[in-house]
Amino acid sequence: MSSVERLAEYECGRCGRLRRFFDRWPDGYICRPCYIHATRIHGTCAGCGRQRLLPGRDTGGSAICRDCAAVPRSFDCVRCGAEGRLYYRKVCIRCRLHDLAAERLDDGTGTVRPDLQPLVAVLASCYKTPPGSRLAWLNLGRTKQLLAALATGRVAVDHAALDVYPDQRSIPYLRALLVAAGCLPDLDRAMHNFETWLRNRLSKLAGHPHERVLRQFGVWHQLSKMRAKAQQQALSPNARTYAVFEFNRAVEFCTWLAEHDHRLDQLSQPTFDRYYGGLSTAYRQSLRGFLNWAITTKRMPRLQFARPRFRTGEALDQQRRLDLLGHLLDGDDQRLAPRVAGCILLLYAQPIPRILAITLDDIVRTDTGVVLRLGDPPSPVPEPFADLLLRLADQRAQAGGDRWLFSGRSIGQPMSDRGLARRLRDLGIPPASRANRRSPPTRPRGSCARRFARTRLPPHDHPPPKPPRRRHLEPLHHHQDLTNQITRLDDGACCST
């Protein structure tokens, strides 16, 4: 192939655009984007029926292997024999990742330190991120410097050394890889991320008129509270997010005080009402933590402010829940993980953070069936939901890696609650069912409700206890009734789909 031919533009046989061609196959000139797309397709060949790479197309447009399509180029890796797109020295992307990781972690002697060899294996075979993303990450300039410092010992393999590294852009991903490889012990990421964030945030508040109060609120109150919770169980990512919101609202409030020449310890009720009344419901909720702490520690007068009230959606009735269950159990065209999560939410009335905390060890096969450990004692799983749950557990066990039932895109972490909530909404589960821990509003309506909204309650004076209110989703109580209802769904009696 001459240089003139390679530089000329031709019509691609796949996309039909005028581009410089990358290769020439039986169906015409192939541009580089179409070549990359074709070398990512694996499956059953429509011509020979074998499981192979499918770069070719037959007359009907079906994907076929290179032998059936008579593609002259070979896609076999010279090292492992796997079919796919070939990279440097005609090796596949996984072999290239292994070579590049070993090159980046070279300690100067042409070898990798024994304690970092598991990291090379994780970089070459990590199931979480696409291989192309890992290849691009290894070629970043900052990644090269970081891995070289790690390999030569200039940066120790521990969490403290990673925390003080100057360029923190590659540190979170590298930390997750080191934990997955067993080179570092795991830590509470929500707690660690908030500590790192708070340290950087306080460094930017130097010279703020209320820096001392904000530092005491963040370190003495927020950090100590989160550490106490972390000793009982691992914190969810929402705990870190809410703590950040609390601190940012406190900074905004103290900045407003400084701009208007108000003292925190001499703040009056009318002045505070002007600021607090202009906030949204979410901002009021985030600011309450700082206000209650400041009043309790006598840094602020005992002012009055109303507790924010959030709107709740309409509760699901029993028939609607059964219809949604039937839709989830029969939805073979939908992804398995959101269907299982939706069934757990509808059957056991569990909030999304508790659903995401389920691991493969919480699914127990017994002689009488399957149980799910959501508490003590474990909850029995009726058919046909048990088959759906076991299918997802088997898929996760075969994929390897962490033990989360609903594994997320981040290494060693479950799916985010926002991501799962979005998938449940796509399946037709309304927002009311996701807020199953909230109760429908019981305050009076009309003018009485408006009077109630204007009433200020002292922050530490609680109203008398109210009778228990019905949740949006109550668990289906008796196991026998539950089994009968799900069996009817399986028979098609209650399914409206």
Would you call 404 helix, strand, or coil by DSSP?
strand
| Measured distance CA(109)–CA(158) in Å, rounded | 23
Q: How many CB atoms lie within 10 A of CB 226?
A: 20
Asked whether the beta carbons of 105 and 121 are under 8 A apart, the reply is no
Token pair 């019905």 in the structure block, residue: 470
pLDDT digits (tens, 9 = 90+) for 433-449: 433 443 333 333 333 33
- Looking at every residue in the chain, the average pLDDT score rounds to 81
pLDDT digits (tens, 9 = 90+) for 387-425: 889 989 888 888 776 788 888 877 777 888 888 888 888
Q: Which two tokens stand for residue 24?
A: 């020439």
DSSP string for residues in 27-90: TEEEEHHHHHHHTT-EEE-TTT--EEE--EE-TTS-EE-HHHHT--S--B-TTT--BS---GGG
Q: Which two tokens stand for residue 110?
A: 């042409």
Which residues, 6+ apart, have CB-to-CB distance to 446 below 8 Å? none
Token pair 């419901």 in the structure block, residue: 281
- Burial string for 161-195 (b: 16+ CB within 10 Å, else e) reads ebeebeeeebbbbbbbbbbbbebbeeebbbbbbbb
Asked whether the beta carbons of 400 and 128 are under 8 A apart, the reply is no
For Cα atoms 480, 484, 486, give the angle at the middle one, nearest 5 degrees. Answer: 115
Give pLDDT tens digits along the chain (497 positions): 566 666 778 888 889 898 887 888 888 888 989 999 999 899 999 889 999 999 999 888 889 999 999 998 899 999 989 998 898 889 999 899 999 999 999 988 989 999 999 999 988 887 667 888 889 999 999 999 999 999 999 999 999 999 989 988 899 889 989 988 889 998 888 899 899 999 999 999 999 999 999 999 999 999 999 999 888 877 877 888 899 999 999 999 999 999 999 999 999 999 999 999 899 888 999 999 999 999 999 999 999 988 877 666 566 777 888 888 888 888 765 688 889 998 888 888 888 888 888 888 899 888 888 889 888 888 888 888 888 899 898 888 887 767 888 888 777 778 888 888 888 888 888 654 433 443 333 333 333 333 223 333 334 333 444 444 444 444 444 444 555 555 555 554 444 43
Helical axes 237-259 vs 189-204, angle rounded to 10°: 20
